[in-house]
Every structure is written in C-alpha cells, then in structure tokens.
Amino acid sequence: MSIEGDQYLRETAKEGMRLDDRKPLERRAITLNTHVINHSDGSSSVEIGKTRVIAGVKVLPAEPFPDKPNDGALIVNFEASDLASGYPIDRILYSVEVGRVTDRGIRESQLIDTKKLCIEPGKKVLFVYVDVFTINNDGNLLDTANMAALAALLDAKYKPNENSEPVPVPLNKANIAISSTFVKIGDTIFMDPNRLEEDAADARLTVGVGDGINSLQKGGSGFFTLDEVMQCVDNAFIAKSDILKMLKV
C-alpha cells in the first residue's frame, strides 16, 4: 500500500476503527464447505472475508521411516500458490512461515495417533497428506490455512484395506488446536487482520489454543506487552469455541 494509505490506517487505528467497519476484536465472516474435491479422501474450502484457501487430504500407503517402524505420519503442506500473488518473490516471504506454523500447529497438538496408521509393522503404514492451497490472499492466511486443514482432516475417510468400508482418520478431537491471529497497529490490537492491516501492522501474534495454549508465533518487528499477550490469548479461547462449533466437533 502507499505511504499515505498506511498513515491513514494508522490514524484510524488510534481510535480503534477499521476500514471495513469491524470492531477491533471482531472477526470477518467465515464460510466453510467440505467435500469440494472429488479425487481427495477429504477436502474443504474456507473463506475468511475475501481470503480463501482449499485443502485436500490423501491417505496413501507407504514404507515407514526406519526410526519409527510402527508409526504412520501426518504431513501438512502449505502452498501460497501463484494464484494469490503477482510475483513469485512475494509469496516466498510468507509461505515458509505460514507453512511451518500450520504444520506444527496440527502435528504438535498430537491430533493423530500415528500408531493407529500402522498396517504391517516395519513394512506398511499410512501417510496422511494434507495439502493446503491459497486461492486468494486478503490477509490472515494463518488462521484460514489452519481451519481448512482441520476441516479437511475431519472430512477425510479412507479404506484401510482394498475391500473394507471407508473409516474416518483416527483423530483425537479433544486435542484440536484452533489458531487466532492478532496484529498490533500503533497501540491497538486487532483480531483477524485483512491484507492492508497486515501490511501496516507493527507486530503480529498467532495463538493456537486447544485445552491449553498449543502454539504461539510472533511476527513483525514491533513488540507486545505481557498484558497484550494475555488479551490475545483470552480472545483466542473465545474464538476457539465458535470455530469448533463451525467444525462440528
């Protein structure tokens, strides 16, 4: 955005005002659809405001890793596709971070019991691939990607053997961690930033909460105080119950 635009956003931020008339801690509308891709074992499309990602799950047989012969694996792969950026270099800046945070948030919450993905110890296990693709980036890809990956996993069904009935992926639903992102512009905290707010922000904080706090990621060159961090965490817990309802958990 232009320097003038940035300045304007910073001025209105002082009053807690946003360009799209939201309150500082108000999220944009979320649209969730599942079953959007025929060839996947589970899929979802999530829109937060104008930001949209799609996620697809594939459950494929594979050889186990030598150090974990009885464990399957969960692999979350995020692509900030070229649909959402004019120059490839634009997406390199954020795709690595978003990808790693999404992957970590889901794997480290021990959502999947990888032991249950073992078919034949030492020989054959199942790998669960979650591929998340950006269709449009209007800010807050982190939360959108997190929700899409979870929705696709919840939607996923696979056949353990050729002739058996499809079963859901073994998820520990109690461990689901929901991510909420906040930015700080000047001294004001805003939830669910759009792209303009992200660009103007001094600092960003992403909080993943399940039962407790599962992940934190601070971005940007600004700072947060302890009180501000706790304010974000409290709001992340409130957002979590709303989003779990949408995911029908």
Partner 1 sequence: MYEQRFDGRKFDELRKIEAEVGVVPNAKGSARFRIGNTEAIAAVYGPDEVKPRHFEKMDRAVLMVKYDMMPFSVPDRAKPGIDRRDMEIAEVLMNALNRAIMVEEFPQMMININVYVTQADAGTRCASLTAASMACADAGLPMRDLVASVAGGKIGDSVVLDLTKEEEDFEGGATDVPMAFLPSKGEILLLQLDGKVSKEDLKKVIELGKEGAQKIYEIEREALKRRFSNESKS
* Residues binding partner 1 (CB under 8 A): 37-40, 43, 50, 54, 56-58, 60, 77, 79, 81-87, 89, 129, 131, 133, 135-138, 195
CA dihedral 183, 31, 149, 129 (to 10 degrees): -140
The candidate with the shortest Cα–Cα distance to 204, out of 142, 113, 114, 154, is 142
CA distance linking residue 52 with residue 37, whole number of Å: 15
Cα(201)–Cα(196) distance, rounded to whole angstroms?
A: 9
The DSSP code sequence of 20-55 is: T---TT-PPPEEEEE---TTSSEEEEEEETTEEEEE
The smaller minimum CB distance to partner 1, of residues 43 and 179, is found at 43
Query: Minimum distance from CB of 232 to partner 1 (Å)?
Result: 26
Question: Shortest Cβ distance from residue 4 to partner 1 (Å)?
Answer: 20
Nearer to partner 1, 196 or 247 (CB): 196
Tell me the closest approach of the beta carbon of residue 228 to partner 1, in angstroms.
29
Give me the least distance between CB of 211 and partner 1, in Å please.
30
Q: What's the chain's Rg over C-alpha atoms?
A: 19
Which CB atom, from 81 or from 175, has the smaller least distance to partner 1?
81
With respect to partner 1, which residue has the nearer C-beta, 37 or 244?
A: 37
